[in-house]
Structure 1
Amino acid sequence: MLERDVFYIAGYDPRSYRHYYALFKKELNLYDDSLKINISKNNEKFPFWEILTPRVKTCYTFLAWNDLVRKNWTQNIQNSFKDAFNLFRIYIITGLFIKFGKESIYQLITGFYPFFYVLFSLLFSFVLGFFVFIVVKIYAFWFFALILGILALVLINQILFKFGKKLAVFWITRICVFCAKWHRIKQGAFDKRLEEFAQSIFNALKAHQNVKNYELILLSHSVGTILCIEVLARVLFLCKENNLDFSQFKILTLGECIPLVSYQKKSLEFRKKLEFISKFDLKWYDYTSIIDGACFPQVDFFTTSGIKEGFRPKFYSPKFHTLYEKEHYKKIKKDKYKAHFLYLMSSEIKGQYDFFDFVVGEKILEEKIN
């Protein structure tokens, strides 16, 4: 029987493992409703669930950091507008957007439209508020007209804010700002959590050194791929320091947005970790799609971040257009939020990209991809 450990790092999301367990279970049932899944209720530091097939036992561990996300999560209108201003200050004024545009026009468009949405919202609100003030002032006392004008401005702002949330405008802005500040934010609690992630993975590798039919997959999605770099560097350092074989260690990155950190001028330490990782020969597979506006499709984030030599992951497209019926795919393309999570879902049509085959299938990862 093949034994497999999957350590999953989610994106910048305040939702707990319960949300991801529910998503995993739902999509797994769509993939194959005969598979058994059990969630752990013991005292392990990180929650995990087991998937059993006649030939494979998969332990899927959720490396939780959503509690730390909640402390940095902004949802009110004032903080969302502040994030949009920071996006303008960090990416546009500095000219960093030019580099993003050269590497991925899709990411540039995605990063720009939240700022312009907020700018349009403010301008439209002020114009409408002023219009209400002018009209009411003709028929009523100016003070009363001023109050109605201000109320109109606030109301329109609130409506556009709620509409923007549905369009994932502030979710994208939040991600961009968080990544730009990663070099500072990760100090303290984040660093401690990353060490715990790395130690858990290292311990699993060490415990299975003499198990031939075994693999460990470090799986990450979205902003989780940035944490993946931090964790991977730590695991490889521990393996090197302890002369531990890591040939059974595989990496799977989905919808990566690593350049949001690695392109920042102040991310010197992060780039050093990329350089350190590049010295190891790894089984690393990276999947990104052009319909996912929050990723960098098929961008070699090692080379473009200034790492000139060494190992490179294998970059692929999941080719989502081949995995769904034509009409359904058209709807998915319009739903940017769903498109970003499509990597973790079961498809309608079997294709080269098959998430559940990767994590619960009978073959080892490299045999399914190569």
Structure 2
Amino acid sequence: MRNSLSFTPPDLQEARLEAVRHRYVFYIPGYDPEARTRYRLLFVREWARYTKRFDGGRRTVSCAQLSENGLVQSWAVSAPEQGDGAETRYDVLLWDDIVAADFARSRFLSVALLIAGTAHMIVSGLLFRFYRLSWKYGNVILYPFVMVILLTALSVAIGVGVHAHLGDWFGHSLGWPLWISLPLGVVAGVAWIKLIEAFLNRIFFWQLLNDWVFNWQHGQGWRPDYERRLDAFAGHVLSALAARTETGQPTDEVMIVGHSSGGLTAVEVAARLLARDASIGASGASLSLVTLGSGLPLVAMQPAAASLRAEIARLVTERRVVWCDFHAPQDWMNFPGFNPLRDLKLRLCGQQPVANPLVRSARFRDLLCPETYRRVRFRPFRMHFQFLLANERPGAYDFFAMTLGPRRLREQVLAPVACREREPALLL
């Protein structure tokens, strides 16, 4: 592989050795139209699986509450009754309404945007750069475009067949004129796609098509709705932390976590927080940023995304935050070994310290039992979500140790401690 799978910045923030007793996690999902119904259930299910295999301590998880504006879903996880671990407040920052609006637009418009975006990526040479970073993700990017070509060809063939053979099917004596048979052929060529809508959803055709269109539009600066949501997210984080301070609730670590497209969102929110509040991360609670299986290059490499690259450059040299970017070679929808410092050619304005990001591989092959790995290795979305699922084996990457454990992100990444497995008798 061309890129190293690990990188440790030379000017990483200094260690804080105190244990984390109170953590505030702000989780940002990816491009998912069902986020508000998915992630609380996923968290509870995977935590139950995790505790059956590992000694995570007995905890309670509260019911989820939705904020009045519908942008935040929250729950709390208690500290373990025995052993080490943090009491964790968990806020899911929602933008699934924006995603749902994309899904609701005209299918023809979505396809037209896909064709325009893909053509732009090919002409500009960006698609080839994506392939050099990850041939798997390159195939995922091209998948909806190739499917559009195949579906169009089949639709034309069906339409031509209906038009050409209509007389044979209904009898030559009917004498169908061209102005009837031709429109019927066009309708038949389009209608069959509607009939296979459920199949297209099962193979994630519309999901990946709209996701790619969104990333292209965002890179071109054409998503003001998303930009407003970023500002709203940053405002929520700051107001939530201020409220905890006012009410005397302690916070040892503030952790912003983004998965998939949400990894880019987490980066943008963190950059806004640091720009708005000079004290955040400098005193009091430490600030951690975690990006999981991020597709950040899809947007950041676009020439028009200069403001995003400037935000990333500030994060790279910002010692108030510890940023760790996790990837996995087994995941089809991320860029293993991608390092913004090297691959984005950032302008760091002189000899500034390089403090971020820590780049690490989650090594899914080592976290899963061989039977499970063989079963899911060719299921791209299943592998992509492994970042959020319970390990089957102890490993350096551990989502629940990172978000619920007693160690800060920096120490958990630099000196990982694998969670202890339960005794075999307790697994029954």
Q: TM-score, normalised by structure 2?
A: 0.77
1:83-102 alignment runs, 5 A limit: 83-102=113-132
Q: CA 1:212/1:154 → structure 2, altered by over 3 Å: closer, same or farther?
A: closer
Distance 1:246 1:202, change over 3 A: farther
Tell me the equivalent position of 2:9.
none
Higher deviation after alignment, 261-270 or 292-301: 292-301
Cα contact 2:23–2:89 (8 A) shared by 1: yes
The separation in 1 between residues aligned to 2:325 and 2:300, in whole angstroms, is 16
| SS of alignment partner, residue 73 of structure 1 | helix
Paired residue type of 2:136? Y
Matched, 1:349 2:393: yes
In the alignment, the residues of structure 1 paired with residue 29 and residue 67 of structure 2 have an alpha-carbon distance, to the nearest angstrom, of 21
Q: Which runs of 5+ in 1 are unaligned?
A: none
Question: TM-score normalised to the size of structure 1?
Answer: 0.88
Q: In structure 2, what is the equivalent of residue 304 of structure 1?
A: 343
Contact 1:225–1:253, Cα closer than 8 Å, also in 2: yes
1:249 to 287, 299, 303: 287
Structure ID, larger Rg: 2
> Are residues 1:364 and 2:408 paired?
yes
| 1:35-74 map, 5 Å | 35-41=59-65, 46-52=72-78, 53-54=80-81, 55-74=85-104
Superposed CA deviations along residues 143-174 of structure 1, whole A, max 9, x for unmatched, are: 47546644542243334554332111221221
Q: 2:189 — aligned with what?
A: 153
Q: Secondary structure at the match of 1:62?
A: strand
Post-superposition Cα deviations, 1:285-333, rounded to whole Å, max 9, x if no partner, equal: 1112233333222211342222155333122221112222323223322
User: What RMSD over aligned residues (CA atoms) do the two structures have, in Å?
Assistant: 2.9
* Percent identical residues: 24
Amino acid at match of 2:323: W
The unaligned stretches of length 5 or more in structure 2 are: 1-19, 53-57, 349-353, 415-428
Is 1:173 paired with 2:197?
A: no
Tell me if structure 2 keeps the 8 A contact 1:74–1:174.
no
3-state DSSP of counterpart to 2:124: coil
Moved more, 154-163 or 58-67: 154-163
User: CA contact under 8 A between 2:253 and 2:288: conserved in structure 1?
Assistant: yes
CA distance in 1 between counterparts of 2:252 and 2:212 reads 37
82-91 vs 261-270, which moves further: 82-91
- Who is 2:221 aligned against? 184
Relative to structure 1, the CA distance from residue 246 to residue 312 in structure 2 (aligned partners, 3 Å threshold; closer, same or farther) is farther
1:184 corresponds to which letter in structure 2? Answer: G
Cα pair distance change 1:146/1:67, threshold 3 Å = closer
Whether 2:300 is the aligned partner of 1:262: answer yes
Query: Which stretch of the first structure deviates more once superposed, 39-48 or 257-266?
Result: 39-48
Quote how far apart the aligned CAs of 1:40 are.
Answer: 5.0
Equivalent position of 2:11 in the other structure: none
Contact 1:289 1:297 in 2 (8 A): yes
Question: Counterparts of 1:1-370 in structure 2 under 5 Å?
Answer: 2-32=21-51, 34-41=58-65, 46-52=72-78, 53-54=80-81, 55-74=85-104, 77-138=107-168, 140=172, 141-143=175-177, 146=182, 149-159=185-195, 161-182=197-218, 183-187=220-224, 189-203=225-239, 214-240=252-278, 244-245=282-283, 248-281=286-319, 282-307=321-346, 309=348, 310-370=354-414
Q: Is the 8 A contact 1:87 1:173 kept in 2?
A: no
Q: How many residues align?
A: 369
1:13, distance to aligned residue in structure 2 (A) = 1.7
Aligned counterparts of 2:390 and 2:48: Cα–Cα separation in 1:
9
For 2:121 and 2:281, the matched residues in 1 are separated by 42
* Greater relative contact order (CA < 8 Å, ≥ 6 in sequence): 2
CA pair 246-225 structure 1, distance change in 2 beyond 3 A: farther
Deviation at residue 337 of structure 1 after TM alignment: 2.2
Tell me the SS of whatever aligns to 1:240. Answer: coil
Conservation of the 8 A alpha-carbon contact between 1:283 and 1:366: yes
